[in-house]
Amino acid sequence: MRILVLGGDGFCGWPAALHLSQLGHDVGIVDNLSRRRIDEELGTDSLTPIRTPQERLAAWTDATGRTIDFHEVDIAQDYEGFVALLSQTRPEVVVHFAEQRAAPYSMKSPTHKRYTIDNNVNATHNVLSAIVESDLDVHLVHLGTMGVYGYGTAGMRIPEGYLDVKVPGEDPDGNATGELLDQTMLYPTNPGSIYHMTKVLDQHLFAFYAKNDKLRITDLHQGIIWGTHTEETQLDERLINRFDYDGDYGTVLNRFLMQAAVGYPLTVHGTGGQTRAFIHIQDMVRCIAIAVDNPPAGGEKVKIFNQMTETHRVRDLAELICEISGASLELVPNPRQESAENDLYASNRTFLDLGLEPTTLSSGLLQEVEETARRYADRADQSKIPATSLWTEAQAVGAPTRI
């Protein structure tokens, strides 16, 4: 199939583009390179030495004989350019990773909040509008987040996108009819940052375009990715994926593994009682391929899959890494506004039923990622490790507790 990967220079988009190309699809990458510019703004860099898009793509051709085209387009700002690209490339599938994805970055200042809303909501709406305008029969696969649900269980497993409810029937005068009526609604949202809020807004845009224009849309509610390499990124060092460890873009498990590798006490926020959903990067690329192969029919509601394989409490992850590596951990004041402790149970039936065999967290795999971090430890700037973006001025008071 002809597939455009929007955001294909990023942490998820790059390995996903390679995997789809390796499977024989005709892949093009669209990216405005904003993530590389944000590194410059923050004075940060990937721990791993990522190459320019041109070097990466030449290395892919050297390693496999396959080609991937690169298109530098800002899909939030250059609507006409994106419509022209769709008409020229005529993709059958568009995989949309192209959003500002860090919760701390989205909460840094009014400017960062406004940028995240403008970029993400415009990007998603432009993609939808451009698909309609180009009159192509495209299956849109979007990367959403488990964070749209909030992080609580309400006494049930979080379903995949929709909640079936029974509503007491009433006649036009408001009198109970005694009937219980079945309704299906999007699971009530409870985003924890401006970034997560953009994914909530995306969901409603998708529901509208699926209903109004019969677009075929799959929204993948993805958990926190961990790991760095996939089978394809390991074919040549020039294909290496990015590894974020700084206080804005580093996600919790990769941060802890990097911190263990450089001898920095693991930065557990608050009591570390937050439970989150996780998925290894190799499984992420497999899920994208499965989603591409299983489109919804036109006129169907948006297909929503929970793209996660396991849940873990942050404190338990930190303790596990300390056991494996001999690192210590610190309970640092939480810069975020979030529940100090939460449980999380979520269904991931759809991917399991479609054949995903999850790569679960094991000490061997954790060591492999820590070794990657140790290999590039001389590139680490430890001054960039602390998380300094505060959700409110009242966050993050007090001194750390070393354990």
Question: Which residues contact ligand NAD by CB under 6 A?
Answer: 7, 9-13, 31-35, 74-76, 97-101, 119, 123, 143, 145, 222, 224-225, 251
CA distances from residue 229 to 19, 196, 234, 375 in whole angstroms, order as listed: 12, 26, 6, 14
Written as six digits, the tokens of 235 are 């074919």
Within 13 Å, how many C-alpha atoms sit on residue 108's CB side?
17
Stretch that binds ligand USQ, among 47-55, 89-97, 172-180, 247-255 (CB under 6 A): 247-255
Closer residue to ligand USQ, CB minimum distance, 78 or 310: 310
Any catalytic annotation for residue 67?
Answer: no
Annotated catalytic residue within 48, 89, 116, 145: 145
What amino acid occupies position 16? A
Closer residue to ligand NAD, CB minimum distance, 251 or 259: 251
Per CB under 6 A, 314 contacts ligand USQ: yes
Residue 175: CB partners within 8 Å, gap ≥ 6? Answer: none
Closer residue to ligand USQ, CB minimum distance, 60 or 151: 151
CA distance 345 to 159: 9
**Among 101, 139, 229, 242, which residue interacts with ligand USQ (rule: CB under 6 A)?**
101
Residue 108: CB partners within 8 Å, gap ≥ 6? Answer: 248, 389
Annotated catalytic residue within 79, 115, 151, 195: 195
Closest of 218, 73, 216, 213 to residue 133, by C-alpha: 213
Closer residue to ligand NAD, CB minimum distance, 216 or 242: 242
Closer residue to ligand NAD, CB minimum distance, 227 or 272: 227
**Among 50, 98, 252, 281, which residue interacts with ligand USQ (rule: CB under 6 A)?**
252
Residue 127: CB partners within 8 Å, gap ≥ 6? Answer: 6, 75, 82, 94, 96, 140
Between strands 162-170 and 176-186, the pairing is: antiparallel
Any catalytic annotation for residue 48?
Answer: no
Least separation, in Å, of the C-beta of 179 and ligand NAD? 40
295: partner contacted, choices ligand USQ, ligand NAD, none (Cβ within 5-8 A by kind): none
Any catalytic annotation for residue 195?
Answer: yes
How many residues make contact with ligand USQ (CB under 6 A)? 23
How many residues are present in the chain? 403
Mark 202-231 with x for binding to ligand USQ (rule: CB under 6 A) and - for no binding.
---------------------xx-------
**Among 18, 121, 141, 268, which residue interacts with ligand USQ (rule: CB under 6 A)?**
268
Provide the β-strand partners of residue 162: 186
**Among 56, 112, 216, 276, which residue interacts with ligand USQ (rule: CB under 6 A)?**
276
Cβ-closest position to ligand USQ: 147
Q: Where are the alpha helices (DSSP H) in 65-109?
A: 79-89, 103-106
Annotated catalytic residue within 79, 149, 199, 228: 199
Least separation, in Å, of the C-beta of 49 and ligand NAD? 16
Least separation, in Å, of the C-beta of 192 and ligand USQ? 7
DSSP secondary structure code for residue 158 in this structure: B
**Among 96, 269, 286, 312, which residue interacts with ligand USQ (rule: CB under 6 A)?**
269
Task: Judge whether 57 and 50 are in contact, CB under 8 Å.
Answer: no
Q: Where are the alpha helices (DSSP H) in 246-387?
A: 252-262, 281-293, 314-325, 349-353, 363-375
Q: What is the CA radius of gyration of the chain?
A: 21
Closer residue to ligand NAD, CB minimum distance, 244 or 370: 244
With b meaning 16 or more CB within 10 Å and e meaning fewer, what string describes 145-162?
bbbbbbbeeeeeebbbbe
Chain position carrying tokens 């029974």: 166
Between strands 275-280 and 310-313, the pairing is: antiparallel
Least separation, in Å, of the C-beta of 379 and ligand USQ? 19
**Among 255, 280, 286, 384, which residue interacts with ligand USQ (rule: CB under 6 A)?**
255
Closer residue to ligand NAD, CB minimum distance, 9 or 370: 9
Exposed / middle / buried, residue 42 (Cβ in 10 Å: 0-12, 13-18, 19+): middle
267: partner contacted, choices ligand USQ, ligand NAD, none (Cβ within 5-8 A by kind): ligand USQ
- Which residues are known to be catalytic? 145, 195, 199
Which residues contribute to the site for ligand USQ (CB under 6 A)?
101-103, 145-147, 223-224, 251-252, 255, 267-269, 272, 274, 276-277, 314, 334, 336, 338, 387
